[in-house]
Structure 1
């Protein structure tokens, strides 16, 4: 269920999520137009963002609890957040074309959307906080859905 209390790990994950997005606002891809995004997916994304942010901060269960076998979930969460940061570095070093924004990361489609979703799911599992997992699912439906929509449009332009 979860224990209420401040989560420094939640702050760390949120900063790893938010900082590159703030930098991105000055380095958006050429031709980026969010105006035609699916309204329902946008709703899921916004609600999910609020829920994930709130849950990340108010449950102390995400804080490091000591090393044991369950710590693997935290390590996986940190690994996928590291992959997310690497994805951003790759984007910022690219030509910043639309295709760069929706590029996969290895076998993971639309890495910029999928990697943090995976990381936060693992964080939710680590903390045993079902509210995080549910919030991330809501966010993932919107965020990954929007990225897939953009990717499909870009691929359609290539044909």
Structure 2
């Protein structure tokens, strides 16, 4: 499928929806961050590369995003966001305890990692784009492994 480059407001909105709660950490840092948590470096690199590309590609290809019809995939993306936001509410209501960033949600392990991963994978599927899928997979691998590693280390 053809990808049309160009800025559009919708291209800024989709990644911003995931990034927004994270911005609160600038002013409201978590409490009780362990000093010894260290995920494997290669997965941190994958995570960072995936983050940068997952957040910039929608901006660069905003006109492509704006042309997409709203459908079941966008509904699933919004459900992922809603659950992700609920996890952020849980984190802030806990007094910003670091461990809450990794606490399972029922049977779902590390939901604050899984739902952004699902969101960006669904975005790639919605756009029918390998260009978006590759960074989403890199992000998924890196974010899942670093989050799982951190979760395991703080248990």
Q: Same fold (TM over 0.5)?
A: yes
Classify 1:28/1:98 alpha carbon distance in 2 versus 1 (closer, same or farther; 3 Å). Answer: closer
Cα shift at 1:44:
0.5
Q: Counterparts of 1:6 and 1:34 in 2: how far apart (Å)?
A: 42
Task: Say yes or no: does 1:24 pair with 2:25.
Answer: yes
Task: Say yes or no: does 1:9 pair with 2:21.
Answer: no
Which residue matches 2:53?
Answer: 51
Partners of 1:61 and 1:128 within 8 A in 2: no
Residue range with higher mean Cα deviation, 41-50 or 18-27: 18-27
Gapped runs of 5+ residues in structure 2? Answer: none
Partners of 1:77 and 1:123 within 8 A in 2: yes
RMSD: 2.0
Which residue matches 1:62?
Answer: 65
Residues paired across the two proteins, number: 152
Q: Counterparts of 2:54 and 2:36 in 1: how far apart (Å)?
A: 22
Cα shift at 1:33:
3.9
Partners of 1:61 and 1:129 within 8 A in 2: no
Classify 1:105/1:35 alpha carbon distance in 2 versus 1 (closer, same or farther; 3 Å). Answer: closer
Gapped runs of 5+ residues in structure 1? Answer: none
Classify 1:63/1:39 alpha carbon distance in 2 versus 1 (closer, same or farther; 3 Å). Answer: same
